[in-house]
């Protein structure tokens, strides 16, 4: 398992413990199942971001890919501790 894969699993388990089993996607706010979880770089590596824990979040693979395809950072990135919820 890669270092980021190990970090993803540790982050997922930590968030699940803190939020009683619910792990919200950083992009859409919906629950992420363990098998669908990916690590999201909040500040992309291409823009000088790092793989440090403070720059990582859990998201769905689809949300992660769509976000990078359109190059938009969700509002939740600006609101520490809050998530943008799908209506």
Residue 2: predicted pLDDT: 66
Output the furthest CA–CA distance in the chain (Å, rounded).
36
Q: How many helices (H) and strands (E) does the chain have?
A: 2, 2
Residue 74: predicted pLDDT: 54
The tokens 């919200």 sit on which residue? 24
Average pLDDT, the chain: 76
pLDDT exceeds 60 at position 82: no
Question: Which fold does the domain 3-77 belong to in CATH?
Answer: DNA Binding (I), subunit A (1.10.30)
pLDDT exceeds 50 at position 84: no
Instruction: Tell me the per-residue pLDDT of 39-81, one tens digit each, with 9 for 90 and over.
Output: 888 888 888 888 888 888 888 888 888 776 555 555 554 444 4
């Amino acid at each position: 398992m890669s270092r980021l894969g190990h970090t993803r699993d540790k982050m997922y388990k930590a968030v699940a413990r803190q939020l009683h089993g619910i792990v919200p996607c950083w992009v859409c706010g919906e629950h992420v199942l363990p098998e669908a979880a990916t690590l999201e770089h909040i500040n992309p590596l291409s823009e000088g971001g790092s793989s440090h824990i403070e720059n990582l979040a859990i998201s769905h693979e689809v949300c992660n890919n769509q976000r990078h395809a359109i190059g938009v950072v969700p509002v939740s990135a600006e609101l520490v501790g809050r998530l943008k919820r799908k209506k």
